[in-house]
Structure 1
């Protein structure tokens, strides 16, 4: 946790894609449903494009879950997108960053969230949350290599 009470999680993967191609894959909200573990994602307001655009993500296991409504607060193709989580369960920000490297692009997914039970909740949730991020990025890698 940082000084604001927010908890940070981060994961990265190298994609053999140009930053522009990586952006097109990662920012295709519907396509995220194929690689983001246990989650269906879709654009809402303005189809999830640009500052003020909306995104929703339904995360569930066995039919039990929650919908995370988000608004885009920063949009800088093909480099960075930040969303603000507006829900009762997930609050905070999420950022996707794409940086060029010699082999393609590095995609980094960061979350700064305020967990429902604060520090205690984060101690319990963090390992599973970070595992979900890593598994999702492995799935993304398979998706773009297919």
Structure 2
């Protein structure tokens, strides 16, 4: 599919932004395509964490096993997608001069033949870009709203 790279500016600092991003078990609060997240084992954060993400985009559903492959507090989280859809994704936080944070999201995914393979990837790229842009907007709103009471 090639890469998809998107970003959003968050008013909050990197520490506050990271607190929401690092809470992997609650990514479904801001990722519209994430239906649920289940962990394999007790580990919930950091490199080596393994989880299953049930995702839905329109009528298409899949469950991907994901492994966190990089974790630097307040800076970066990377995952490897395993399952029907394979690939890698990375969130990077960049502090801004005004005290806010830029969140960069990069994904490179490969689709199976029964998702129409390369043709499916071509069709999916603009759709996933749209969904993930909305996800980043949701993340910014959630972070900037502050902790739930």
Same fold (TM over 0.5): yes
What pairs with 1:56-67 in structure 2 (closer than 5 Å)? 56-60=52-56, 65-67=61-63
- The Cα shift of 1:65 comes to 1.8
Question: Following the alignment from structure 1 to structure 2, what is the Cα–Cα distance between the partners of residues 64 and 126?
Answer: 14
Question: Following the alignment from structure 2 to structure 1, what is the Cα–Cα distance between the partners of residues 96 and 72?
Answer: 18
Q: What's the counterpart of residue 144 of structure 1?
A: 143
- Report which stretch shifted further, 62-71 or 51-60: 62-71
Q: Is the 8 A contact 1:99 1:105 kept in 2?
A: yes
1:68 aligns with 2:64: yes
Change (3 A) 1:62 1:30: same
2:101 to 105, 108, 111: 105
TM-score (norm 2): 0.83
Question: Following the alignment from structure 1 to structure 2, what is the Cα–Cα distance between the partners of residues 134 and 62?
Answer: 16
Deviation track 1:41-97 (CA, whole Å, cap 9, x = no partner) reads 344344331221112211136886221110111111111111110112x10101010
Q: Is the 8 A contact 1:29 1:43 kept in 2?
A: no
Q: What's the counterpart of residue 4 of structure 1?
A: none
Q: Which runs of 4+ in 1 moved over 4 A?
A: 61-64
2:83 to 87, 92, 96: 87
**Runs of 5+ in structure 1 lacking a partner?**
2-6
Aligned length: 140
- Report which stretch shifted further, 131-140 or 112-121: 112-121
Q: Is the 8 A contact 1:45 1:52 kept in 2?
A: no
Matched position secondary structure for 2:46: coil
Question: Following the alignment from structure 1 to structure 2, what is the Cα–Cα distance between the partners of residues 115 and 64?
Answer: 12
What pairs with 1:103-142 in structure 2 (closer than 5 Å)? 103=98, 104-116=100-112, 117-142=116-141
